[in-house]
Amino acid sequence: KMLIKTFLLAILVTATRSQCLSENDVSQVLNKNAITSLYKSQHNFSIALLDAINKSTWEENIFFSPYSTYHALLLAYFGAKNRTEEGLKKILNLEWADSKSIVLQAYKIEMLTRSYRGQNSLKFSAANKLFFAPKVNVRNCMMELFSDELQTLDFEKDPEAARLTINSWVQSATRNSIKDILAPGFLSAQTTAFMANAAYFKGSFASNFDRRNTRIGIFYPATNRRISVAMMSQKGTFNYTVSDDLGAHVLQIPYEGNDISLIILLPPFVSTAMNELISKLTPETLQLTLDSVRPTEVEVMMPKFRLKNKYELLPFLEFIKVGDLFYSRANLEGFSTTAKIQLDSALHQAYIEVDESGGEPQENENSSEAKTKFHCNHPFLFLIYDHQSKAILFIGIYRGFTPEIAMQPKVPAQEDRIEPIEPDKCGTLHPLGTLTGLVAGGETIARGTWPWLVAVYGYTGLTLSFRCGASIISKRLVLTAAHCFYYKNGNRLRVRDTVIIAGKYSLRRLDEEGAKIVYPDNLFIHPDYRFHNPDADIAVVVTPESLEFSKFIRPICLWNTSEPEDVTNRQGIAAGWGMDEEGNVFSDLPRRVSVPVVSNFVCRNSGQQYQLAITERTMCVGWRNGTTGVCQGDSGGGLAFKINGQWVLRGLVSTSPTANQGGSCNLNDYTIFTDISKFLDWIQSHNPS
């Protein structure tokens, strides 16, 4: 009785305050179909966001909570007006709702139900909150309606204290699993609003994987690659089917309580299978598949893994047409009519552990070999699915390459013994090269993981100093930015004063094994280039003789006309010796960072400084999160994408916006890259061969 009274009280309170959302809202009788409609809307949103993230992270593990992200955007929707409201209503698939009050009813019921169900052994939490500066003066009725989701925080008085407050809240909401979601300096005194979004899940399987059966196994990230992982296994009765609608084998592994399951969709082992699976995944095909599963004796083998993925959602939300929510023209007057509110970014971090923990192993009287084998030894899509509410809590794609999966230290270069690589094959690592997983935070890379990266030096008098990065594209050609060969006063660096070092790793070391010092034979700067103008910021350096390729010196593939022209919303990898976190102009060791490409339209509208700088021959790249991106010293370095197992060069770092004359980076702005696909004929015209 107590639960029922509390539940009814919550609904009545919601109804009496519904007029706060819009002038036309009125108290309405509870719509029984609203919850079902809301979950179907979440499904559509989940699949659309997965498609956007997958297209920009081709060969990386993916893991996020569409449930948490959807509810965070719902908060913004409740306070949005006019075009901003229309854009959010479309992306959240809320066309079924006649008014915001109906959506609010479904939202409140969902939140209340989730809080009651969260008391069991399943550890699921979704942390969503909007933080507003005091000067925003949030309307009292909104603070009452969303007392758990809205909070006032004084960014102007002490942005660092505000950062620590948000980090502490996220850490508490995710049971200490997600710490320091915001890096130092992320917030500023000018911040008026910030959306925090994090999710955590740790559940125990109803039937566990016996740790004694976990073995080192082979996982194939691609048809020509393999890695060693900790492979769990068990034989038991699970809901299983082969879905013709999805073109995949489907397995349900329930967690304790059986309300929530890990659902694995295993497509065929071909390069296009994952994209085809996502294209077929809809709320209807998913439900048909789940309805068709049957108890089956299955031998299950799957990797043990732990994922903690962090995303700046803005590029992905723009890809699925979020509207103007993150622009200065956004209308969020539902929260406040006295202050202008702008959301600059939306960070999302999700964490999951999949290991052997759970209940007792299933007892099988028949010890014979199971007829159905479900071996996850190649990339698979997985869901954390709530059967009771029919909600996708989490969704991900496992492709390997995570440092958490190994049961024992990784054997160096163990995957490189699989298949010989031609000595001059572009965009690949040498068979003896050291491999590491990609990072998306500007961390140091191991030597040999980016062997086409070249250091460009120049003489000023008798002083030799580092100037830029560059990329080897053939035995005698090195590609970089034209501005690397100009002094600050506009004078041009002469060819005889230029030195390039292939295989360079540490800028502090004069002698490095495997490095090659080269004095260029010629230097070609594009005839359209003008000093301090990013258009046609490209140069070709010709070496006097062919480079000898090794594990530290290798070429990257050059983009060609057969590759997709549009890479908007996809993430590429940039590398260089740019400014480090300590403020040094150059870092000693090179770093790689994953950065998204945004449309020129978005870039031009992000600031006046981009109006004339962006042309059809440039690209706009960056997170605009204040912490991750390219900086001074990265100039001339490449933006690469991995296509069919080979790294392909598409862009060159041209202009890295600065916050002041001292040259410190402003990573809250986009970076302009030269689009080399527009200069392919010019590049080839200088190839000595």
Query: What mean pLDDT value characterizes the chain?
Result: 81
**Could you report the per-residue pLDDT of 318-365, keeping only the tens digit for each?**
788 888 888 778 899 999 888 888 776 677 888 888 888 754 445 444
Both tokens of 262, joined, read 């890990």
- In whole angstroms, give the CA distance from residue 324 to residue 331: 8
Distance from the first to the final alpha carbon of the chain: 85
Q: What domains are defined for the chain?
A: 29-202+309-350 (3.30.497.10), 211-307+354-360+370-402 (2.30.39.10), 443-685 (2.40.10.120)
- Between 551 and 680, the more confident residue is 680
Query: CA 628 to CA 637: how far, in whole Å?
Result: 16
Taking a C-beta distance cutoff of 8 angstroms, is the pair 648, 427 a contact? yes
If you ran DSSP here, which 8-state letter would residue 404 be given? T
- CA 469 to CA 472: how far, in whole Å? 10
**119 falls in which pLDDT band (50, 70, 90)?**
low
Structure tokens at 583: 């403020």
User: What is the pLDDT confidence band of residue 439, given thresholds at 50, 70 and 90?
Assistant: very low
Residue 267 has pLDDT above 90, yes or no: yes
Compute the C-alpha angle 75/77/79, nearest 5°. Answer: 80
* 501: CB partners within 8 A, 6+ apart: 454, 455, 457, 515, 516, 517, 518
Q: pLDDT band at 417, cuts 50/70/90?
A: very low
Sheet strands side by side (includes 305-312): 150-152, 123-132, 193-202, 346-354, 305-312
Quick: pLDDT tens for 449-507.
Answer: 899 999 999 988 888 888 999 999 999 999 999 999 988 888 889 999 999 999 998 88
**The Cα angle at residue 622 between residues 618 and 623, in degrees rounded to 5:** 155
Query: Is the pLDDT score of 426 beyond 60?
Result: yes
String of b and e for 201-233 (b: at least 16 CB within 10 Å)? bbbbbbbbbeeeebeebebbbbeebbbbbbbbb
If we measure between CA atoms, which residue out of 226, 238, 289, 231 comes closest to residue 415? Answer: 226
Give just the sign of the alpha carbon dihedral 50, 51, 57, 59: positive
